[in-house]
Structure 1
Amino acid sequence: MAETTNGDARGASEQGAGEATNPQQFTIQKIYLKDSSVETPGAPEVFTQSWKPEARVELNTRRNTVGEGLYEVVLTVTVTATVEERTAYLCEVHQAGLFTVAGFESNATDQLLGAYCPGVLFPYAREAVSDLTGKAGFPPMTLSPVNFDALYARQRQREAASAESADDQETDNPG
């Protein structure tokens, strides 16, 4: 009987030590299409013209705290295709996901939510854009891969430069 108790105590202490050494948790809870739309203001005339569009792609991300360590990240992809300066179509997809992020330092959490999670969502958004544009009667729009780590780093640099410039203005113009 004493062996079982010692074994259970040792197992519980080893489990506690394992949790203490690895408290970080990242889990994809759910990936879902939050919103999507496609507009074809140039139809039907656009279908009678030669198809040589210019496409503009915009990417935006936002995050919301849903609960303790639970975040919703939404990747918005907007594609505007024009032919001869007329809008052929406007396609917008809001691809979302619920992610558990716990036990990370704030910088690491910010990087996960700002770069890694949008990277996870992008293939789903890419597929939705392709499907919607194809169903709208156009050749399916296939988006190029995106380096979200580079976009995140660029955004951080802009924020740092903006904060530095604001600090300089406060120093130059004391109130």
Structure 2
Amino acid sequence: MAEQDQSPVFQLQRMYLKDLSLEQPNSPQILLEQAQPQVDIQLGMAAEAIAEGVFEASVTATVTTKVGDRTMFLIEAKQAGIFEIRNFPEDQVQAILGVVCPQTIYPYLRAIVSDVCTRAGFPPILLAEVNFQAMFEAQQQAQAGNGAN
């Protein structure tokens, strides 16, 4: 029985929308604008331990759409999940939190952002696919570089 207790465990316990905000500060006047809006999309990831072997991982998208210097709309959405991760080496736990968990969460975040745009009366914004492995490796290299200085 003790052998089974040491086998690696990775499972999603719960997925949820942690935060959602929509702002249209210049409506309705800006809706009459004919100019093509500029869209800026920022993504963020976070993870933290919430109990022994249990972690919350989240992905945040901030979508800012402007016409000139005026904001057409701003969406901030944070999708999160609670994951059980046990009996993995620490470096693998960090990779799971930095790659696998965000990959699991991100499709839900993409759908939410698209849906909120549509419900707000705008064409949907489709967030691009993200290579979380590359993002994680770049983050690890940046941290290693900062530690060397």
The two structures have a TM-score, normalised by structure 1, of 0.81
Match of 2:132 among 138, 145, 148: 148
Distance 2:138 2:90 in 1: 18
Task: Say whether residues 1:123 and 2:77 are aligned partners.
Answer: no
- Structure with bigger strand share is 2
Match of 2:79 among 95, 105, 109: 95
The two structures have a TM-score, normalised by structure 2, of 0.94
Residue aligned with 2:60, SS: strand
1:105 maps to what in 2?
Answer: 89
Deviation of the 1:99 alpha carbon: 0.2
Residue aligned with 1:37, SS: strand
Task: Say whether residues 1:52 and 2:36 are aligned partners.
Answer: yes
Distance 2:145 2:50 in 1: 30
Deviation of the 1:64 alpha carbon: 2.1
- Structure with bigger helix share is 1
Structure 1 stretches of 4+ with a deviation exceeding 2 A read none
Match of 2:14 among 27, 30, 44: 30
Residue aligned with 2:112, SS: helix
Residue aligned with 1:79, SS: strand
Deviation of the 1:118 alpha carbon: 0.8
Higher relative contact order (CA 8 A, sep 6+): 2
Amino acid at match of 1:129: V
1:64 maps to what in 2?
Answer: 48
1:157 maps to what in 2?
Answer: 141
Deviation of the 1:120 alpha carbon: 0.7
Percent of aligned positions that are identical: 35
Deviation of the 1:40 alpha carbon: 0.6
Residue aligned with 1:38, SS: strand
Residue aligned with 1:141, SS: coil
Please say which structure displays the higher CA radius of gyration.
1
Amino acid at match of 2:73: Y
Q: CA RMSD in A?
A: 1.4
1:86 maps to what in 2?
Answer: 70
Deviation of the 1:114 alpha carbon: 1.1
Structure 1 unaligned blocks of 5 or more: 1-14, 166-175
